[in-house]
Structure 1
Amino acid sequence: MKNIVLKITLAVFFMTTLVSCTEDETALPKTTVTISKEDFQTAVNSTDLDIASWTNFNETGAWKWREKTYTTGGVTNGYAEFSAFNSGSPVNTAWLISPEINLDVAQKKGVAFEVAQHHLDVDSPNNSLQVFISTNYDGTNVLAATWSPLQANIPTKSVAWYQFLASNIDLSAYNGKAHIAFKFKGSGSDITLDGAFQVDNFLFYKLNN
C-alpha cells in the first residue's frame, strides 16, 4: 500500500526536477507557422482551470482540471494538471478541450503539446490520459460530440515524474473546424489509480508549402 507521507515527501523531492520543454524542442519542421498557442503562463496556482475558450468539463466526479504553477531558479512555469489524489471519487473522468481550430487554414497543419505524469502506479486505462479530435463539438455538449482518438506521446509510469514529453500530430487528413481534447481518467479512492497528468505548451500550426 502506498504510504501517503512518503508520497508527499517524494513529490516535494521530484518537483525540484520539474522541467518543461521549450517550443524549439518539439521537433517541428522549420517551416512551421504558429496559428494559435496556449502556454498556460496566466495560470493561477491551484484553481480550477478557467482560460478563455477552453472547456473544463468533469464527466465523472466533482473535480475539474486545475491551473498549476511551479517556480525554480526564479522562473515560473504554468501548466494544466489533473490529479485524482484525495478527490474522494471512485472514478474521476475530466475533459480539457482546446478552443476551436480552423483546419482549412492550410493543407498541411498539426498540433503540438507536452505531457508529463507523476505518481502513476500502473499503466492502466483506469488511470490514463487520452487525446481526441472532434469536428462536430458545439462548444458546450461534450458527450454529444464525436471524438476520434489521436496518437500522442503520453508518458507511462516508467517515465520520470514531471518529465514533459513532446507530441507533434499531423492533422492534414482533417478539414473544417475542430477541437482537441485531453481526457483524464483516474480514481480518488483507489490509491493505485490516483496518478496525475500535466499538459503544457499547446500549439496549432501550419506548414508553408
Structure 2
Amino acid sequence: MKTMKCNAVLFVSMIALVLSSCTKDSDVEVPSAKKTIFAENFDDSNLATTGWSSFAQIGTKLWSQGSYNNDGYAQFSSYQSGQPVNVSWLISPPINMDAQEGEKLFFQSCQDGFVRNIDNSIELYVSTDYDGVSFNNAGWEKVSFTFPTQNTKKYVYVDSGIIDLSSYRGTLYFAFKVKGTSSLTGGYQVDNVRVFY
C-alpha cells in the first residue's frame, strides 16, 4: 500500500512537471528599447520552424518546445535519458550585428524544482564565426547572466539582466547550453528572449 502511494505521488509530480510553465508572456516586463530586432516567445510548436537549432554535444537529448496554458517556452531535461551526462545546446537564429549599434540581450529562465545537483547547469554563449551548420568548428564565448540555481524557487522566471552585445560585429549566434547528469530529474526552461538597442 505504501509503495502504491509513493508511485501515485511520483506520477502526479511528473504530470505537474510536464504541464507546468514559469509564467505567461503577458506577465513579462521587457526592458525599454529604441527597437527590438529579435523577439522569441517560443509559441510555435516546433523550434526549427523559427530558426532555432538544438545540438547534442554529449548524450542524445535535445531541447524541445513546451507549452502550458497557451504559453510556449524552450525546455531541456535529462530525465529518463538513460545516459550519465547530457550536454545540449539551443542555438538562436543569426543576428545581423552590423545593421545597428548598442545591441543588448534579455531573456528569462527557470528551473522546475527538481534540479538538485550543482553539476547541472545552464550557460549562455555567443559566436560570430558559427556558420549555422558546423558547430564544432565555431568558437563559442561564455557570457555572464543571472541564472536559476537549484535553490531558486521552482517555476519562477529569473531575469537574465541586460547583456551587452554591442562589441560584436558580423553575424552573431547566441546559445543556451545545459548540462544534465543522471541525478537531474528536472530541467530548465527559457522564454521571452529579446535582442534590442
**TM-score normalized by the length of structure 2:** 0.85
Query: 3-state DSSP class of the match of 2:98?
Result: helix
Q: Is it true that 1:173 corresponds to 2:167 in the alignment?
A: yes
Shift of residue 12, structure 1, vs aligned partner? 4.7
Q: 1:140 aligned to 2:133?
A: yes
Aligned mates of 1:40, 1:137 — CA distance in 2: 22
2:20 corresponds to 1:25: no
Q: Matched residue of 1:112: which SS?
A: strand
Match of 2:191 in 1: 200
Percent sequence identity is: 32
Distance 1:4 1:92, change over 3 A: farther
SS at 1:50's partner residue?
A: helix
Cα displacement (A) at 1:40: 0.8
Query: Residues 18 and 109 from structure 1, CA distance in 2 versus in 1: closer, same or farther, beyond 3 angstroms?
Result: closer
Q: Secondary structure at the match of 2:150?
A: coil
In 2, distance between residues paired with 1:99 and 1:185? 21
Q: 1:185 aligns with which of 176, 179, 183?
A: 179
Compute the displacement of 1:157 (Å).
1.2
Cα distance in 2, alignment partners of residues 183 and 159 from structure 1: 18
Compute the TM-score of the two structures, normalised by the length of structure 1: 0.81
Separation in 2, partners of 1:152, 1:97: 17
Q: Give the C-alpha shift of residue 20 in structure 1.
A: 3.7
Compute the RMSD of aligned alpha carbons. 2.2
From 146, 149, 159, give the equivalent of 1:156. Answer: 149
CA distance, structure 2, for counterparts of residue 121 and residue 23 of structure 1: 27
Would you tell me which structure has more helix in proportion to its own residues? 2
Match of 1:121 among 111, 116, 124: 116
Mapped to 1, the partners of 2:139 and 2:79 lie a distance apart of 29
* Matches for 1:82-101 after TM superposition, within 5 Å: 82-101=76-95
The Cα shift of 1:41 comes to 0.8
> Once the 2 structures are TM-superposed, how far is the Cα of residue 8 of structure 1 from its aligned partner?
4.3
> How many aligned residue pairs are there?
189
Structure 1's unaligned 5+ residue stretches are none
CA pair 54-176 structure 1, distance change in 2 beyond 3 A: same
